[in-house]
Structure 1
């Protein structure tokens, strides 16, 4: 592995490596992801709960979730994480071949810790050497490794079939509760609509009925309110909070903040 390469990705397998810096960000998780933390640590936040995984730990991150993360190298080792992506087409083929079907389930957390059994450890050991595995020409092998990952997950926890083989799109959920929990994710209205079980037009119509204003305007006001609270009550700085509350750019955040509160964030 070349440690200077921060992110190596094939459709089925991804290797993340950061040697000397903390990396923060957020992402939408479109497919289930089975991950093993080789070294360093990752802290993930779904808007309500925080999850931390250190060296030797495993997790299944469920599809159709928004997640913030902090990736931290260890004192004597890089941040190193291997992930296997379990797309819907692969899971549907597996379900049909082996006769698995999901039962109606109670709500599951977005991130599910997986016990690092000998089967799990042996599986991730089998993915070495990573650089060679992801080269062109290994598509069949990579597909088999995806199927093996599904089998390993089911062996570690049979109840995961109700997660892995649930192919339904997000159902209609409480719009106000969802937006209050997820306003700080910098994602598109299309994605917010999808995750609340609505078309974009229905989402916009329901949003105005619920909040009394268009979603774009509400999102900016709500993010600025949260930033004001963090700066005034928690002593945070503008550079600490602008990404946390969903802004991409510090100058845009500062401009919008001053317009709403009559003073720059540094004067609060």
Structure 2
């Protein structure tokens, strides 16, 4: 099952990294258990159809009477049609940066919530229907104004939900703030002895490949491909020096698809062939 990096796949300008982004998602056939890497927190305003999302330890299902606020991460979700109709939801993505700015502006930035439910259920009402219409209206605005307009609409929406759901929604917003810790390095360094591809390690870190590469360079001051290759070759050399295994027995577990590529990389790194180690 391929991994869908959302919202990246919806953004036409692949060099852009917007803090706010709206996308109209429509389909005419059921999509069962998509494997999704959600790179930004997201409001999913379901208007026609049904949606189910599977998380690590729980799941949630909503219909057109409800919408969801989803925490960024790796999720499986299913989108189902109503009878004889199409599926439609409006997606509103927002970055952690924009959330922090909102919390700070309204004096709500003094709390730390380490863990929380990865979703918040929103009951659709007349305000939301009106709000979604207004989002559709501004979608025709010139691009130069769009960033400012979306910023205003985001603040309006958040203030409404704070008024409607109170402390429960406020605590949920704080749970969306990722607390930086050593988990990124732990995951990366635990995969040195694996043959996982960068895309797969990125998925385990709950990141798109582009985000993973940026974070990796920030942490290690080196590209992930070069760093992993060096670490894996050093470990392969140590293994071979023990005289227990042959090169043909270990190349796969150190990330190489064939013995020839492993031998070339090994000789380029150490000046000797794996057999001579």
Paired residue secondary structure (2:136): coil
1:136 matched to 2:143? The reply is: yes
Report the equivalent of 1:189: 201
CA distance in 2 between counterparts of 1:191 and 1:120 reads 33
Report the equivalent of 2:45: 36
Paired residue secondary structure (1:128): helix
CA distance in 2 between counterparts of 1:29 and 1:70 reads 14
Paired residue secondary structure (2:108): coil
- The one-character-per-residue Cα deviations of 1:96-149 (angstroms, maximum 9, x if unpaired) are 32211252336311122122244333322322347525x624412122112222
Report the equivalent of 1:26: 35
Alignment length (residue pairs): 192
Over 3 Å counting, the alpha-carbon distance change for 1:30 and 1:163 in structure 2 is: farther
Q: Tell me, which stretches of 5 or more residues in structure 1 are unaligned?
A: 1-5, 177-185, 205-215, 218-268
CA distance in 2 between counterparts of 1:22 and 1:163 reads 28
Report the equivalent of 1:50: 59
Q: Tell me, which stretches of 5 or more residues in structure 2 are unaligned?
A: 1-8, 13-17, 188-197, 208-215, 232-251, 254-277
1:62 matched to 2:74? The reply is: no
- The one-character-per-residue Cα deviations of 1:147-199 (angstroms, maximum 9, x if unpaired) are 222222322322322332453435467x99xxxxxxxxx9621442478xx97
Deviation at residue 60 of structure 1 after TM alignment: 0.8
1:169 matched to 2:179? The reply is: yes
User: Residue 43 of structure 2 contacts residue 68 of structure 2 at CA under 8 Å; is this kept in 1?
Assistant: yes
User: Residue 100 of structure 2 contacts residue 109 of structure 2 at CA under 8 Å; is this kept in 1?
Assistant: no
Over 3 Å counting, the alpha-carbon distance change for 1:124 and 1:194 in structure 2 is: closer
Deviation at residue 57 of structure 1 after TM alignment: 1.0
1:109 matched to 2:117? The reply is: yes
Give the TM-score normalised by structure 2. Answer: 0.55
Which residue, 116, 130, 133 being the options, matches 1:122? 130
User: Residue 7 of structure 1 contacts residue 15 of structure 1 at CA under 8 Å; is this kept in 2?
Assistant: no
Give matches, 1:149-228, under 5 Å: 149-158=157-166, 159-165=168-174, 167-169=177-179, 171=181, 188-193=200-205
User: Residue 7 of structure 1 contacts residue 17 of structure 1 at CA under 8 Å; is this kept in 2?
Assistant: no
Paired residue secondary structure (1:25): strand
User: Residue 34 of structure 1 contacts residue 84 of structure 1 at CA under 8 Å; is this kept in 2?
Assistant: yes
Over aligned residues, Cα RMSD in angstroms?
3.9
Paired residue secondary structure (1:71): strand
Give the TM-score normalised by structure 1. Answer: 0.57
CA distance in 1 between counterparts of 2:57 and 2:104 reads 35
User: Which is worse superposed, 82-91 or 20-29?
Assistant: 20-29
Q: Which has the larger radius of gyration?
A: 2
CA distance in 1 between counterparts of 2:91 and 2:205 reads 28
Over 3 Å counting, the alpha-carbon distance change for 1:43 and 1:170 in structure 2 is: farther
CA distance in 1 between counterparts of 2:11 and 2:88 reads 11
Which residue, 68, 82, 101 being the options, matches 1:93? 101
CA distance in 2 between counterparts of 1:115 and 1:37 reads 11
User: Residue 154 of structure 1 contacts residue 160 of structure 1 at CA under 8 Å; is this kept in 2?
Assistant: yes
Paired residue secondary structure (2:140): helix
